[in-house]
DNA sequence: CCAATCAACTTACCGATGTCAAGTTAGTAA
DNA sequence: TTACTAACTTGACATCGGTAAGTTGATTGG
């Protein structure tokens, strides 16, 4: 939507929807989820209270869009990390570190992604792109299974992986780990944990091979 | 509630502090964190807007007390579960299931426990009792280490355990796992994951034994 | 028995928020 | 030019967290 190239502020913003998403993300990055209000975002853009309601049904709709944008970044960076590695095992590790980097570098944005109480009930876009993110992990585990010749349901292994990485991310971003352990740098600890996690996945999948001796 | 035996509502409530905590928990159980407001809690108890401020500095102080109460329940049930098992390995599994039961049976209360943005900055009571909860896990891992004769830093193993269980709890209570997998009953899946996690802990600790062959 | 004290509670208010109804503006298509 | 419509504004409502100042009533010292 153009609305003319004049320098004076036009009646129609021209790109309010994206501006609202960007504005909300900016507040989230610089401050907090609690600091986000529709009125403040609108004010910063130079538009009145009610203007956002012509682009988002309510606050949760805007935050759903913010969450979706976060998943989009996660998928983008995750895909790049996966493609940079050859073996599925290395890909799993790379995806884990990328996931944690995204989460810990943008803690508030990460929280919006997983606080379902902030989301609209049935936001197709969000469900789709979060599904894509989950799909990256599913894909790696599946390639690993093929490589090893494992048979059976890999869902529990997949979910345990997601759980551990997500748990570490949330505990760290909430400050719980730093407070309890005094550790300041998350990266070495994360590497250690991802190594253990990778071993777990490998062993579980190996145990699922027909010739492994286990049932 | 003491404050004289007359049936008429007395000016002094007599036990407002605990009534506020119980009222907030009730709203959290029946509805949502977002449904909790100081005014609504006060209203249900039959007291005015400003009354809670004589017992709690602000809303976060009340929610910190609510969170602490949650950790107290967790420690109580966790301790009972641990004492019901003989081997550290079984204790680890029992503590995991108890943790997940508490979290999933009271999802909103569990969120309050780990949403540090809802807590007061330096709530000694909360830090103390949440430390006790972490201590249960630390204790089990330590007994396991002694039993196996492992040497070295067990913190990474401990944190990976906490991460996985906490991650599963948060993903489940946010509805992410149910939505992504279609699984309705968390318990069998949790048992499977806790078994894998127990194996991970055992193997890592065994690898830390002086005679294990690994460095 | 009385007066002083003090914590517990109330009243009245402030600014901010999410949301809505109704009106206004400005592009666009006939 | 006219009609239509999406985008935006105005103004309002109920509710919220929080504060200042006043009121109540139990306790205590004399």
Q: Which nucleotide is nearest to A42 (CA to C1')?
A: D8
Q: Which residues contact A178 (CB under 8 A, 6 or more apart)?
A: A172, A184
Helix axes B155-173, B107-114, angle to 10 degrees: 130
**Banded pLDDT at B9 (limits 50, 70, 90):** low
- Please calculate the CA angle B6-B7-B10 and round it to the nearest 5 degrees: 70
**Alpha-carbon span B91 to B85, nearest angstrom:** 5
Q: Per CA to C1' distance, which residue is closest to C26?
A: A11
Q: What is the pLDDT of residue B214?
A: 58
Closest CA to A115 of B176, B194, B41, B88: B176
Report if CB A44 to strand D is under 7 Å: no
| Region of B3 on the Ramachandran plot (φ > 0 left; ψ -120 to 50 alpha; else beta) | left
Is nucleic acid strand C under 7 Å from A44's C-beta?
A: no
Q: How far is the CA of A48 from the C1' of D11 (A)?
A: 12
Contact A20, A56 (CB under 8 A): yes
DSSP secondary structure letters along B15-62: -HHHHHHHHHHHHHHHT-STT--HHHHHHHHT--TTGGGGT-SSHHHH
Closest CA to B187 of B177, B174, B179, B200: B177
Say what the pTM is: 0.92
Q: Give pLDDT, residue B213.
A: 65
Q: How far apart are CA A125 and CA A102, in angstroms?
A: 20
**Among chain B residues, CA nearest to A194:** B160
Above 60 in pLDDT, residue B151?
yes
Q: Which residues of B161-189 are buried (b: 16+ CB within 10 A; e: fewer)?
A: bbbbbbbbbbbbbbebbeebeeeeebeeb
How much is the pLDDT for A34? Answer: 94
**pLDDT at residue number A16:** 84
- Please tell me the predicted confidence (pLDDT) of residue A83: 98
The pLDDT assigned to B15 comes to 81
Q: Taking CB atoms and an 8 Å limit, are B115 and A196 in contact across chains?
A: no
Nucleotide C24, nearest residue via CA and C1': A11
Q: Which of A159, A124, A195 has its CA nearest to residue B171? A: A159
Could you give the maximum distance between any two Cα atoms of chain B, in Å?
A: 76
Q: Give the pLDDT confidence score for residue A77 in this predicted structure.
A: 98
Question: pLDDT tens digit string along B163-208?
Answer: 999 999 999 999 999 999 999 999 999 999 999 999 999 999 999 9
Q: State residue A215's pLDDT score.
A: 53
Q: Which of residues 68-87 of B touch strand D (CB under 7 A)?
A: none
Could you give the residue ranges of the DSSP H alpha helices within chain A? 16-30, 38-45, 59-83, 88-105, 107-114, 124-148, 155-173, 176-181, 186-207
Distance CA B109, CA A35 (A): 23
At residue A214, the pLDDT reads 58
The pair of structure tokens assigned to B24 is 């907030």
Chain B CB contacts of A177 below 8 Å: 159
Residue B8, pLDDT score:
35
pLDDT in tens, B110-146: 999 999 999 999 899 999 999 999 999 999 999 999 9
Distance, CA of A93 to CA of A72 (rounded, Å): 20
The per-residue pLDDT for range B72-100, each reduced to its tens digit, is: 999 999 999 999 999 999 999 999 999 99
Asked whether A57 and A25 are in contact (CB, 8 A), the reply is: no
A113 CA from D7 C1′ (Å): 29
For range B153-159, the mean pLDDT:
97
Give the Cβ contact number of residue B193 at 10 Å: 24
Question: pLDDT tens digits for A49-74?
Answer: 899 999 999 999 999 999 999 999 99
Cα angle for residues A127, A128, A130 (degrees, 5° grid): 65
CA of A60 to C1' of D14 (A): 20
- Interacting residues of B211 by C-beta distance below 8 A, sequence separation 6+: none
For strand D, the positions having any atom within 7 A of a protein Cβ are 6-12, 15-21, 24-26
**Sites in chain A below the pLDDT cut of 50:** 1-8
Q: Is the CB of residue A33 less than 8 Å from the CB of residue A173? A: no
Crossing angle (nearest 10°) for helices B107-114 and B59-83: 110
Identify from A196, A197, A203, A206 which residue to disrupt to test chain B contact, counting B C-beta atoms within 10 A and taking the largest count: A196
């Amino acid at each position: 939507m153009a609305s003319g190239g004049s320098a004076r502020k036009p009646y129609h913003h021209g790109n309010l929807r994206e501006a609202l998403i960007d504005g909300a993300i900016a507040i989230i990055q610089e401050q907090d989820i609690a600091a986000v209000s529709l009125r403040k975002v609108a004010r910063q853009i130079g538009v009145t209270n009610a203007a956002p309601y012509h682009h988002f049904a309510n606050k949760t709709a805007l935050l759903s869009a913010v969450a979706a944008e976060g998943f989009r970044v996660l998928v983008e960076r995750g895909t790049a990390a996966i493609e940079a590695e050859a073996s599925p095992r290395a890909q799993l590790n790379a995806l884990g570190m990328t996931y944690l980097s995204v989460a810990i570098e943008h803690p508030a944005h990460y929280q919006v992604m997983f606080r379902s109480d902030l989301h609209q009930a049935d936001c197709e876009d969000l469900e789709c792109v979060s599904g894509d993110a989950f799909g990256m992990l599913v894909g790696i585990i599946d390639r690993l299974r093929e490589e090893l010749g494992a048979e059976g349901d890999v869902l529990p292994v997949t979910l345990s992986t997601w759980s551990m990485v997500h748990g570490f991310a949330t505990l760290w971003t909430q400050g719980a780990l730093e407070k309890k352990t005094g550790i300041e740098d998350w990266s070495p600890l994360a590497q250690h944990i991802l190594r253990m996690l990778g071993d777990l996945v490998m062993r579980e999948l190996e145990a699922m091979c027909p010739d492994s001796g286990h049932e």
